[in-house]
Amino acid sequence: MANTTFSGPVTSDNGFIGDIKVPTYTVAGAPSASSAGAGTVIYVSNGAAGAAILAFSDGTNWKRSDTGGTIAAA
């Protein structure tokens, strides 16, 4: 299968095939949410009071996907 790079949003009428993988960090090792940019998604292994969680950047902070609260290790 070929690889293609896109510079804008990608949509599909028939879905996407394959796994979606996001970068994994700890709370302490997560990049700056502002440098990552609003809408960026990461997996934080300890971001939900020590439990794993998907998080998104709001442009300022990493927000938990379940509550919208800021990620925290404890």
Name which of 20-24, 32-36, 42-46, 55-59 the model is least confident about: 20-24
Query: How many domains does one find in the chain?
Result: 1
Q: pLDDT tens, 45-67? A: 999 999 999 999 999 999 999 99
- Is 58 within the bounds of a domain? yes
- Is 51 within the bounds of a domain? yes
- Is 28 within the bounds of a domain? yes
Instruction: Count CA within 13 A, CB hemisphere, residue 39.
Output: 1
- Is 31 within the bounds of a domain? yes
Q: Which residues form the domain of 38?
A: 24-64
The average pLDDT across 65-74 equals: 96
- Is 57 within the bounds of a domain? yes
- Identity of residue 9: P
| pLDDT (0 to 100) of residue 59 | 97
- Is 49 within the bounds of a domain? yes
